[in-house]
């Protein structure tokens, strides 16, 4: 089992999650983060830290289609361990539905 980042994270990137992960298994895209399922130790610490409630266990119904996406991009995107600056409009996007199509496949750039 692993934890999975889901749709609510798109364009949010508050990144409160990355600082609490004991094994640094978050990977960053341009407007989304993913968890590497091979590295996650299933501790659950990140779940309550996410202000967008985007992190769920992979046993959760809402995780289904996102688990594969997390595994795919964890192999392509850079590891991230420090909270960066969230986009200026992150708060506006926090509770918006149907953000999946806005997910960028580009990696995070400093």
Binding site for ligand SF4 (CB under 6 A): 3, 5, 9, 12-17, 20-21, 23, 25, 33, 35, 40-46, 50, 52, 54-55
CB of 2 to ligand SF4, least distance (A): 6
CB of 69 to ligand SF4, least distance (A): 13
CB of 53 to ligand SF4, least distance (A): 8
Residue 107, C-beta contacts closer than 8 angstroms, at least 6 positions apart: 28, 29, 30, 76, 77, 78
CB of 72 to ligand SF4, least distance (A): 16
Nearer to ligand SF4, 45 or 64 (CB): 45
Query: Which ranges of 1-110 would DSSP assign to H, the alpha helix?
Result: 16-20, 64-74, 90-93
- Say if residue 90 is exposed, middle or buried (CB neighbours under 10 Å; 0-12, 13-18, 19+): middle
Nearer to ligand SF4, 25 or 67 (CB): 25
Per the DSSP assignment, residues forming a β-bridge with 79 are: 27
Q: Pairing between strand 55-57 and 33-35?
A: unpaired
Nearer to ligand SF4, 52 or 63 (CB): 52
């Amino acid at each position: 089992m692993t934890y999975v980042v889901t749709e609510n994270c798109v364009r949010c990137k508050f990144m409160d999650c990355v600082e609490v992960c004991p094994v640094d298994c978050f990977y960053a895209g341009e407007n989304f983060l993913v968890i590497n399922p091979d590295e996650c130790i299933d501790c659950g610490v990140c779940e309550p830290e996410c202000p967008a409630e985007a992190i769920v266990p992979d046993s959760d119904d809402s995780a289904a289609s996102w688990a594969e996406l997390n595994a795919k991009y964890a192999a392509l995107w850079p590891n991230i361990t420090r909270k960066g600056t969230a986009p200026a409009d992150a708060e506006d996007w926090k509770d918006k539905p149907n953000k999946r199509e806005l997910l960028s496949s580009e990696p995070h750039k400093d």
